[in-house]
Structure 1
Amino acid sequence: MIITKEVHDIATATGVMRTYVYRPDESGQYSTIIFYSEIFQQTAPIARSAAILAGHGFVVMVPEVFHELNPIGTVLEYDDAGKDKGNADKFAKPLEHHDSDTEAMVEFARSQAYCTSQVGVMGVCIGGHLAYRAALNADISGAFCLYPTDIHSNTLPCEQGNDSLTRTGDIAGELVMIFGKQDPHVSSEGRKLIYQKLEQEQINFSWQEVNAQHAFMRDEGERYDAALALQMYLQAVAFFQRVLS
């Protein structure tokens, strides 16, 4: 399916958030996937991932996740300086601000003639956490979370008791959780903690642990696993076709 790309500056409770929208070029209405990036914001690999999803018949929105902390259009490099800045942003932005960002994107999507009312979320790394977090919003029908960081450790700033793991019981939509066994950012103990919490709260979820390192979806760098990435895209497309129908 041929796609088109647009750029929208969406008003949020904490300022203007640049959001990149990938959608089918054909007229009609399509379900929306909010795609949360890594700490580096919309890099070339993130843009390619969004395009792949959109090409299967979805409107894909990629927000600048740290819009309050950077000039519009900021993209960090995959180097030590970019990593340091991205991690600093990660620990500076409260989860509550991510919540209001999600609300603004849902409202935007539902105001567009080319969108249905159905919205799902997907993300990688910190974006995987933000997808999990977005699932607390009752308007989100499903979340596909790839190697989400900082859920088990409660290391992102938020009001007391409002961390994502504690709030798990508020998730109404369906979850898919994907972890790499060789990922040093989420230990085996951390994965077990998340799994047990999801079971305890009786969340509708599926779970996969694959033999891969952190960022195995990123098609730049030595950790990329093309075969696994292809499997994940196929699973994500099938998942969203089902839960957003």
Structure 2
Amino acid sequence: MTGNMISIETAGGTGKMGAYMAAPESEGAPGLVIIQEVFGVNDFIQATVEAYADKGFVTAAPDVFWRLEPGVKLNPNVEAEFNRGIELMGQFDQPTGIKDIQATITALRNHPACNGKVGVLGFCLGGRLAYMAALGTDADVAVSYYGVGIETMLDQASDIKIPTLLHIAEEDGFVPPEAQAAIKAGLTADNFDVRIYPGVDHGFARFTGMHYDEAAANLANERSLSLLNSVL
């Protein structure tokens, strides 16, 4: 299913943010916000939006870097583009990004095809933002793929009441063993599900990436879809 760019009015009238969106033809579909890595709404994120639309979700990926540089689409396999993504992440204001994710959630809730329930699912930076969205938005469910720095936000975990699934790569240099242990120990409430994938590295679910692991990606994606379908 092919998507297209739409425009979303952001909080407080701060401007219009682009988002890549695809929707099933049926009505009464759940909504899903896909949150980008540091590489923007690139081919992988657009393909992910289209894949979830094919599975029956009204799906959109907001261009969360739009205040810095609208329309970022980077190839992480090109060193200069990878470095540009890291640079943008350093400039990105995450609390404002959460407001933009909320604006996307609201837009999907109000979409005529949507049943009013909306989840969030993010990768890397987006995995961190998905955890933050579980805290700071009205999302109904959150899924985080190899979110970075979540171990620094565990003191707020008791404020998260929605089902939250975390996929962690055992060999992730950005989420070292001590961080993984802290996350496992800190997220033990019934609404959390922490899954660690042995022998794989950061980015294992990005099928365009050098660390892609098909078996781990398929397992993580099945778990994500199962949770999203059960909640939404």
Q: TM-score, normalised on structure 2?
A: 0.91
Return the match for 1:227 from 208, 211, 215.
215
Matches within 5 A, 1:127-142: 127-137=126-136, 139-142=138-141
Distance 2:185 2:82 in 1: 31
Contact 1:27 1:114 in 2 (8 A): yes
The structure in which a higher percent of residues are helix is 2
Does residue 21 of structure 1 match 2:21? Answer: yes
CA RMSD in angstroms, aligned pairs only = 1.7
Alignment map for 1:199-210 (pairs within 5 Å) = 199=188, 202=189, 204-210=191-197
Cα deviation, residue 111, structure 1: 1.8
- Say whether residues 1:120 and 2:107 are aligned partners: no
Long gaps (5+) in structure 2: none
| Cα pair 1:35 1:121 within 8 Å, conserved | yes
Give the Cα separation in 2 of the matches to 1:175 and 1:19: 24
Q: Which residue of 2 aligns with 1:56?
A: 55
Q: CA deviation at 1:118?
A: 0.4
Residue of structure 1 in register with 2:201 after alignment: 213
Alpha-carbon displacement from aligned partner over 1:35-54 (angstroms, at most 9, x marks no partner)? 11110012212222222222
Residue deviations 1:93-125 (CA, integer Å, cap 9, x gap):
222102211221122112211111101111111
Letter of the aligned partner of 2:229 in structure 1? Q
Residue 27 of structure 2 corresponds to residue 39 of structure 1 = no
**Matched residues in 2 for 1:50 and 1:233: separation?**
13
Deviations 1:39-84 (A, max 9, x none): 00122122222222221111111111211100x3221222222222
Instruction: Tell me the CA shift for residue 135 of structure 1.
Output: 0.7
User: Which residue matches 1:174?
Assistant: 163
Query: What corresponds to 1:109 in structure 2?
Result: 108
Contact 1:169 1:203 in 2 (8 A): no
Q: Say whether 1:185 aligns with 2:174.
A: yes
- Determine if contact 1:36/1:123 at 8 Å carries over to the other structure: yes
SS in 2 for 1:144: strand
The corresponding residue for 2:8 is 10
CA deviations on 1:105-149 (whole Å, 9 max, x unpaired) are 122112211111101111111111111111114521111111111
What code does the residue aligned with 2:183 have?
I
- Once residues 76 and 187 of structure 1 are traced to their aligned partners in structure 2, the CA distance between those partners, rounded to angstroms, is 26
Alpha carbons 2:27, 2:115 under 8 Å: kept: no
Alignment gaps of 5+ in structure 1: 155-163
Give identity over the alignment, percent.
29
TM-score (norm 1): 0.87
